Structure 1
Amino acid sequence: MAPIEDTRFGAITVRQDGQDRIEVAGEAIPHVVLERDPAAEADPQIAIGTRDPARLTLRIDGVEVELKPAKGRLSRRSYRVDVEYEGTSYRLVPDSVPSSRLTRDGAHIGDFSSDGDEMVIAEWREGSEIRPADAAIGYALASAFGTGGLPMWMMIVDGVSSALP
């Protein structure tokens, strides 16, 4: 896969090794590896294969980092993914059908779009100080879990309409 050209950090490569491992690398960002426990059953709907934090290991520059994906149910918020890194709280949460918002300590810093593959698009918020770790984490989470989600009312309408004869 050709590198993605990030507007602030230059060439960034996102590599997926099936549903077992995702790696994000670039000269200007920390190296990120997200791995699924090979003994964990892989869910075909999730690029990394699971949302169970006990079955996932996230390392940034070789240091294991706390990763907390929510279970993913009806609401967009239930698909959030939280990361704690060097005293900073990150959250990727769907905020529209195609994209998810990345926050750092509660401040919206960028938007990511990905179908849960190696193609990730980042749009950084104007006026925000963007750090290399922000990009590394955002790209990894967007690739591993995908972005976007339908609003709850659309999911309910879709469920009701598919149940009708």
Structure 2
Amino acid sequence: MAQMQDCDDDSADFTAAVVETGIYGEADLTHRDESIFGSYREGVPMTVTISRTGPRTSDKVPIGTRTAANLRAGIDGREIVLDPGRARLFKRSYRVGIQYGGRTLTLRAKNLEDSALLDGPSDRGDNEFGVLTRVFGGGVEVLWSLPFTMMNRTIEPPTPTREDALIGIVVAAAFGTGGLSLTTIVMGAVESILP
């Protein structure tokens, strides 16, 4: 599990957090109103940036919008194409599609608080890198998937590249993690009606 340290400075217009990736060392996240930057502290320098180019249209999303046309993202000068869902009634609508350098990743809501980082556009059952959780202060906790057995077969989850891991962490910081499901909404309504 990753650790997060809040490094908020009252005199600055940004918030910084440190994320322990568990496999690639520590990463710094820097949040400004219109952008989020992430970079590793160790190894080959690498920076992921997500910026809002239009107005803030949502206070529920850390980056301020889920409109793809109002977002710009990149990793070391190379473009990252983001396709965020609308985050409405269904858990599926909280997905964020990520494409860069011929790769496709997906950040998919798993429950109210967590999202799974997937290798590919959908969940095949054997392509989950791990679970990311955005925490108070803007950090992200990371829990990478472990091998598991299903029907007498051991499933070995994929290991994210350094780029995959950093992109997933920055996307989770920018859009948040988790999402409501229709079942959760219906159960909440039923519980509030019945004594």
- Specify if TM > 0.5: yes
Structure 2 stretches of 5 or more lacking a match?
1-6, 8-16, 147-155
Counterpart position of 2:61: 46
Q: Relative to 1, partners in 2 of residues 1:83 and 1:124: Cα closer, same or farther, differing over 3 Å?
A: same
Contact conserved, 1:116 with 1:142, CA < 8 A, in 2?
no
Tell me the matched-pair count. 162
Take 2:28 and 2:67, find their aligned partners in 1: how far apart are those partners?
A: 25
Residue 42 (structure 1) shift: 3.4
Structure 1 stretches of 5 or more lacking a match?
none
Q: Structure 1, residues 90-138: CA drift from partner, whole Å, max 9, x if none?
A: 0001011220010012411111001485210111112432210111111
Residue 150 (structure 1) shift: 2.8
Q: Provide the alpha-carbon RMSD of the alignment.
A: 2.1
Residue 65 (structure 1) shift: 1.6
Pick from 25, 31, 39 the counterpart of residue 25 of structure 1: 39
Q: Structure 1, residues 138-162: CA drift from partner, whole Å, max 9, x if none?
A: 1111101111123212213445777
Counterpart of 1:24, as a letter, is: G
Pick from 163, 173, 180 the counterpart of residue 150 of structure 1: 180
Correspondence 1:62 to 2:82: no
Counterpart of 2:159, as a letter, is: E
Is 69-78 or 148-157 further displaced after alignment? 148-157
Correspondence 1:112 to 2:153: no
The structure with the largest alpha-carbon Rg is 2
Q: What is the TM-score normalised by the length of structure 1? A: 0.88
Q: Relative to 1, partners in 2 of residues 1:158 and 1:5: Cα closer, same or farther, differing over 3 Å?
A: same
Is 107-116 or 140-149 further displaced after alignment? 107-116
Correspondence 1:94 to 2:109: yes
Contact conserved, 1:116 with 1:144, CA < 8 A, in 2?
no
Pick from 75, 87, 100 the counterpart of residue 85 of structure 1: 100
Contact conserved, 2:18 with 2:139, CA < 8 A, in 1?
no
Q: Secondary structure at the match of 1:147?
A: coil
Is 46-55 or 112-121 further displaced after alignment? 112-121
Q: Relative to 1, partners in 2 of residues 1:115 and 1:162: Cα closer, same or farther, differing over 3 Å?
A: farther
Residue 41 (structure 1) shift: 3.1
Q: What is the TM-score normalised by the length of structure 2? A: 0.75
Take 1:104 and 1:16, find their aligned partners in 2: how far apart are those partners?
A: 26
What is the aligned-residue identity percentage? Answer: 30
